[in-house]
Amino acid sequence: MNDDHSVFVSPLGTRYASPEMSYNFSDKKKFTTWRRLWVWLARAQMELGLPVTAEQVLEMEGQIDNIDYAAAAAAESQTRHDVMAHIRVFAASCPLAAPIIHLGATSCYVGDNTDLLCIRDGLDLLLPKLARVISRLSKFALQYKDLPTLGYTHMQPAQVTTVGKRACLWLQDLLMDELSIRRLREDLRFRGVKGTTGTQASFMQLFQGDSDKVKRLDARVAQLAGFEAVFAVTGQTYTRKLDVLLLNALAALGASVHKMCSDLRLLAHLKEVEEPFEAHQVGSSAMAYKRNPMRSERCCALSRYLMGLPSNALHTHSTQWMERTLDDSANRRLVLSEGMLCADGLLLTLQNITEGLVVYPAVISKHLADELPFMATENILMAAVSAGGDRQECHEELRRLSQAAGDVVKKEGRDNDLVRRVKESHVFLSLALPIDDLVQPSSFVGRAPQQVQEFVKDEVAPVLARYEGQLEGEVALKI
């Protein structure tokens, strides 16, 4: 954290994201990666027969972390070119290797490939975090698979579901996000060694027209960087379509989390389910009794920011004239790092929520009792007819009793007394109906408990198996 309080520092780094994700987009990671890329290029050129020596490569390797940032800033101020500034500073610390640093390359060799390395490493940080959320939420779903709760459509009382089944709706969205982010990670390619407009002309000249060696150079540098594949064609940059796909995947994750946390905020209002609330946590500076769902609200806030980023990437990609324009540069410095940092902070907060969800069965039962008698009227009607009652007479009596009970609830603010009215009705007394059995919440949940078990077994478990050994550890929020 920057101790100079007169300088703005992004809250994503200081408040929300993890130290490892913050480092992933730090200047140190960026510029040491530039130097590694120069080392890898030199090593591959040496292996393929260019006049680069092992001593030069070793000298460069020894200076990877020895960066004079002040000298680099001064050089950039003079040259107005960040890559050229760092080449000069690197060369000054590597006098033997200076003549061959950046040989045949263009600025996007280090710039774009570093971005791809940071994206790759960032996705490798995000995916296990997402898996941990899925793991915690699946345990919650199984724990409460049988607990009946009032379902809502249009935010109006609907048929009964279970607390665990509702959690599976959230889980399903997160599984779709895991798949799209994982596929993006698996399909990620390196820009590689392509030259100024993607034709590799400079390298063809260095290798005296040997196309096979230029192709091997491209593959070898990618291999040294840990990539199995390179883009077959590029302009000066890798296609900014990739940035669109990345931010679309992160924004989709944001939408899933926003939906889930909006539900949790509504459930907190109903006092049915609450996020964790610490012993000394303050809900309001004025209202001492408040228990605000601040974690869920934070998730919604971060998600909203994340969901706004794809349009930026779309505009950037669509305006990359011909082989490239530089109006992507300043923009991408913001949206790529901020998008990944935001997603990281989002998942940390969501993991904290899912590790401490509190359910209040008594409140859930009370809300069910307020509405369930109305939903049970069809069951009562069918049982009455089966017991010998007249269908039309029973229907009319239930209609009359339901309206009377509804008036008690809405106009007098009292509990729903429909069950008592049915038990006392002369129409139903003689039929000896098991009224209490007919209004048991568990008889209204359908296959919800089985759906939860099947979903976790068939859909969730195979995904979590991919992250074996990476699911441990709890999250304690800093703020």
Of the candidates 21, 2, 116, 1, the one whose C-alpha atom is nearest the C-alpha of residue 345 is 21
- When mean pLDDT is compared across 11-20, 165-174, 287-296, the lowest value belongs to 287-296
Spatial separation of the C-alpha atoms in residues 218 and 237, rounded to whole Å: 15
Model pLDDT, residue 1: 46
Task: Determine what percent of the chain is predicted with pLDDT higher than 90.
Answer: 69
* Catalytic (active site) residue 81: no
Contact 255, 308 (CB under 8 A): no
Q: Return the bridge partners of 273, or none.
A: 359
Q: What pLDDT was estimated at residue 427?
A: 86
Rg of the Cα trace of the chain? 31
Work out the pLDDT band at 330, boundaries 50, 70, 90: confident
Q: What is the pLDDT of residue 214?
A: 95
The length of the chain, given as a count of residues:
479
Tell me the C-alpha distance between 86 and 69, whole Å.
Answer: 9
Which of 398-431 are b and which e, b meaning 16 or more Cβ less than 10 Å from the residue's Cβ?
A: beebbeebeeebeeeeeebebbebbeebebbeeb
Per the structure block, which two tokens stand in for 129? 């975090």
pLDDT of amino acid 288 = 45
Question: What pLDDT, in 10s, does the model give residues 424-477?
Answer: 898 888 788 888 888 888 888 989 999 999 999 999 999 999 999 999 988 887
From residue 359, how far is each of 144, 150, 229, 274 by CA, in Å?
9, 14, 48, 7
Q: What pLDDT is recorded for position 378?
A: 81
Q: Answer yes or no: CATH 2.60.40.10 is held by domain 377-438.
A: no
What is the C-alpha to C-alpha distance for residues 437 and 426, in angstroms, rounded to an integer?
19
Q: Render pLDDT for 78-96 as a digit per residue (tens, 0 to 9).
A: 988 889 999 999 999 999 9
| Catalytic pick among 5, 154, 269, 426 | 154
Active site residue 180: no
Kindly tell me if the per-residue pLDDT of 286 is higher than 70: no
DSSP H or E run through 424: helix 418-424
| pTM, to two decimals | 0.90
Task: Please give the Cα distance from 183 to 207 (Å, whole number).
Answer: 36
Which of the pair, 382 or 291, is modelled with greater confidence?
Answer: 382
What topology is assigned to 17-100 in CATH? Fumarase C; Chain B, domain 1 (1.10.275)
Is 195 within 8 Å of 104 (Cβ atoms)?
A: yes
Residue 124 pLDDT: 97
Strands 148-153, 156-162: pairing is antiparallel
Partnered with residue 153 across adjacent β-strands are: 156
**Encoded tokens for 361:** 């069965």
Give the domain ranges of the chain: 17-100, 107-360+457-465, 377-438
377 versus 30: the higher-pLDDT residue is: 30
Which of the pair, 293 or 178, is modelled with greater confidence?
A: 178
What pairs with residue 148 in β-bridges?
A: 162
Task: Map tokens 């002040």 to a residue.
Answer: 70
Query: pLDDT value at position 281?
Result: 55
pLDDT value of residue 285:
43
Residue 2: pLDDT above 70?
no
pLDDT at residue 8 is higher than 70: yes
Quickly state the pLDDT bin for 299 (edges 50, 70, 90): very high
Asked whether the predicted pLDDT for residue 208 surpasses 60, the reply is: yes
Could you give the percent of the chain with pLDDT greater than 70? 96
CA 267 from centre of chain: 22
194 closest CA partner among 116, 112, 113, 109: 109
What is the structure's pLDDT at 283? 52
How far apart are the two ends of the chain, measured CA to CA in Å? 14
More confident residue, 164 or 280: 164
Lowest mean pLDDT among 34-38, 81-85, 276-280, 408-412: 276-280
What is the model's pLDDT at position 116?
96
Show the tokens assigned to 255: 């939408």
pLDDT exceeds 90 at position 14 = no
pLDDT band at residue 12 using 50, 70 and 90 as cut-offs: confident
The pLDDT value recorded for residue 145 is 97
pLDDT value, residue 284:
46
Point out the catalytic residue in the list 211, 284, 386, 430.
284
Q: Report the CATH superfamily, name and number, of domain 107-360+457-465.
A: Fumarase/aspartase (Central domain) (1.20.200.10)
